[in-house]
Chain A
Amino acid sequence: MALSLFLTSVTVDAKTVDRIAGIAGEHVVFLSDVRMRARVYMASQPDGDALARARQEAKAMRASCEDLIDEALVAEEAERRHLQVTEDEVSSAIDAVARTNETDRASLMKMIRERGIVERDYRAMVRARVLDGKLLALVMPKDKRDDLEAADKTMHDELRAQVYVEDRIASAP
């Protein structure tokens, strides 16, 4: 059902500041969000030549858009089920990440800021992951608990099947 309706800048000098990068039912994903998320992904990629890096960035952009679409759908479903994530839960999750990395929260956040990642965006990402985990715990069949990744994918697939989803990053030429 998807149509090729992508905009291209009309003049050579035009810069695209932001645009619709994805649709998740009633929600849209902004290109600025995709870029910001891709920055986080790219921060952990090894160095390579310009071509390799361009490929990684394209891959990161596609993955970011897919993740943000899933997060939007999870957020909507979680809202329907009155699930929520408190600031304390986000902080606890960040503490857990810090412990796993054998550091403390302040050092972890400093490291994140040093990489050019806005703290607010990092917390939003963590919040999304906690919410995903909460929703998964609710909807996951008991016999699927030994493969969380597969169960998570199934949950996302089912959520996507409910609404119109379009990833304009993945389908862009």
Chain B
Amino acid sequence: MKRAFVVLFAVACAAPPPAKVAIVKAHVRTLGERRDDVCARKDLVPMGASVVGDELQFDSAIVRSVHVRDASNAEVALGDETTSAIRIGAPLTADASRETLQRVWQTGKFADVAIDTEPTSPVEAGAVSVIVRVVPKRTIANVFVSGDAQPDALHVSQGSTYDAVAITSAKRAVLDFERTEGHLDATLEVSSAIAEHDAVDVCVKLMRGPRVTIDAIKVHGSAYDAALTALLAREDTVNVPDKVPNEEMLARDDLVLTAELYDHGLLNGEVKRTKERHGASITIDFAIKDGVQFHYGVVDVKGDLAAPKGDYMKLVTLKQGDVFSRTEAMAVLEKVRAMAKSAAKKDDIEVEPETELDVANQSVALTIAIHDPHPSASTTQQQPRGFTIVELKQGQGRAAKAGDTVDLHYKGTLTNGTVFDSSYGRSPFSFKIGGGAVIKGFDRGVTGMRVGGKRRVTIPPDMAYGSRAVGNIPASSTLVFEIELLAIR
């Protein structure tokens, strides 16, 4: 259906298949031949409305009264503020109608809402009575439980209101919880049926299934299997035999193993994690591909040098031809950072490693780049006021730059401390830096981060959502993100 209806906006997709473009062209030819007919067609304009200029307008019927009634035409009491979007004595507009619909729906009391118009009584030409037609939510008459269900967690109880939206949300939470407890096959069915007196009977059936635990963790394929296995045992005490797999820790394990490969110069090394299920047991398998071993190529220091370059280079003990080691490189980086801060007498000097792989020669050129974000006035770039970055924890490896796809966790708060969003507890958030996928300040805040690093980024409104209110973020909000970089891809 959707394919057939790709009309005039198909190529708006990021990467549409060629077939859709052809559909667009075909439609345009068809439309051109029958424009008059299409223009004349008014039957799909919302009832009682017409398109005038660039706006949808209702017939200018004057509202003489507004009533809230149920399906049996009985009056239903609502606060005046709920229906005040429709003005008595004024024409009924599309916006007022929608606003009223939204307001009544948001009371959470009704399963259905409609805005109807009826002739006035006595009939008056050009005037209507507006009926806000509502169907109250039903009451739960009985709850039938089977399996391992806990209806309390679903907010389903005899005499309470049947709220399908809330039940679905709670159902999801219950299943997520069961799965973190190892019940990977858990199923939860919630069904309903109309009972007498317009009430609802609800059936809840939870089948937990077996509790799945780890039976073994395997690391193989690397020349350093033993070291990697020992490292994993030290770093991850959660994912061990007889315990339930913890996805967050497993994702961290990938990074720990990759970092260890980097310490052996294996910069193209790969860690591929799979899980193999055997009944109530699961084997975690880390398949490692070492790839080639890289050695240091040219090692240099550049950028905003507040001390003679020779002084910095004395700290660079990495020798061309030696096997690359991430830990070793980071140690040197830290020494350079300390000197850079000391020489510039500033704490906000940014020192980042830039690496360039020469695969043919299996070498890696390392440049330690020093950046003073607040140099003399003549070189200061125009930056929106209020944008700040505070390094909470230095990461390791190369700095994330435009074009990189990064995996990270974040917590977003307003300046009053209200958390408006957080990725913790969910899958890590991924996006391509500089791809326009996120607000400008977030893009900028992540740029320069290294894996394992953590930043607090304060983003003024003009680098966030501006004067728009978005979700639970008020208009013109300054946002504060704590960002933890997990991976650069």
Contact = CB atoms under 8 A, between A and B. Distances in A.
Asked if chains A and B come from one complex, the reply is yes
Interface of A: 1-11, 13-20, 23, 25-26, 28, 30-32, 35-36, 38-44, 46-47, 57, 59-60, 62-63, 66-67, 79-84, 86, 89-90, 93-94, 96-97, 100-102, 108, 111-120, 122, 125-126, 129-130, 132-134, 136-138, 148-149, 162-164, 166, 168
A130 B46 contact: no
Nearest to A53: B43
Contact-residue bracket for chain B: 35 or more
Contacts of A134: 14, 437
B432 to A, nearest CB: 8
Contacts of A84: 438-439, 465
A130 B12 contact: yes
Nearest to A120: B54
A36 B54 CA distance: 13
A19 B34 contact: no
Contacts of B359: none
Contacts of B15: 133, 137, 148
B115 A17 contact: yes
B105 A28 contact: yes
A143 to B, nearest CB: 14
Contacts of A19: 101, 112-115, 133
Given A2-B164, A100-B21, A100-B25, A14 B135 contact: no
A37 B43 CA distance: 13
Interface stretch (B1-9, B256-264, B285-293, B294-302): B1-9
Nearest to B116: A14
Given A36-B56, A89-B436, A126-B12, A16 B47 contact: yes
Contacts, number: 256
28 contacts: A3-B138, A3-B162, A3-B200, A7-B133, A10-B71, A10-B131, A23-B164, A26-B165, A28-B105, A32-B98, A44-B27, A46-B34, A79-B471, A82-B438, A90-B12, A101-B24, A108-B8, A112-B8, A115-B35, A115-B38, A116-B45, A122-B9, A130-B12, A137-B15, A137-B437, A148-B15, A163-B172, A164-B168
B9 A7 contact: no
B118 A136 contact: no
Interface of B: 1-3, 5, 7-17, 21, 24-25, 27-28, 30-31, 34-35, 37-39, 41-49, 51, 54-56, 58, 69, 71-73, 92, 94, 97-98, 101-102, 105, 111-119, 130-131, 133, 135, 138, 162, 164-165, 167-169, 172, 190-192, 194, 200, 421, 429-431, 436-439, 442, 465, 470-471
Contacts of A36: 44, 46, 56
B111 A5 contact: yes
A70 to B, nearest CB: 9
Given A7-B112, A15-B116, A28-B105, A93 B69 contact: no
B168 A42 contact: no
A16 B471 contact: no
Task: Give the one of A23, A102, A136 with max B CB within 10 A.
Answer: A23
A25 B190 CA distance: 16
Contacts of A20: 101, 105, 112-114
B2 A67 contact: yes
A69 B473 CA distance: 23
A24 to B, nearest CB: 10
For the complex of A and B, 9 pairs with smallest distance between CB atoms: A133-B14, A19-B114, A164-B168, A93-B12, A129-B12, A133-B13, A39-B44, A164-B165, A5-B111
Contacts of A80: 421
A17 B46 contact: yes
Contacts of A62: 1
B434 to A, nearest CB: 14
Contacts of B38: 43, 115-116
B189 to A, nearest CB: 9
Choose among B5, B7, B44, B55 the residue with the greatest number of A CB atoms under 10 Å from its CB. Answer: B44
A5 B133 CA distance: 12
Contact of B54 (A4, A63, A96, A118): A118
Nearest to B427: A139
Nearest to B410: A82
Nearest to A162: B172
B8 A40 contact: yes
A148 B13 contact: yes
A16 B115 CA distance: 6
B341 to A, nearest CB: 32
Contact of B71 (A7, A126, A138): A7
Nearest to B35: A114
Contacts of A13: 118-119
Contact of B192 (A1, A67, A114): A1
A7 B114 contact: yes
Given A57-B43, A120-B54, A10 B73 contact: yes
Nearest to A129: B12
B39 A114 contact: yes
A7 B135 contact: yes
B1 A10 contact: no
Contact of B14 (A101, A112, A130): A130
A99 B73 CA distance: 54
A148 B465 CA distance: 30
Nearest to B1: A63
B194 A3 contact: yes
B187 to A, nearest CB: 13
A101 B28 contact: yes
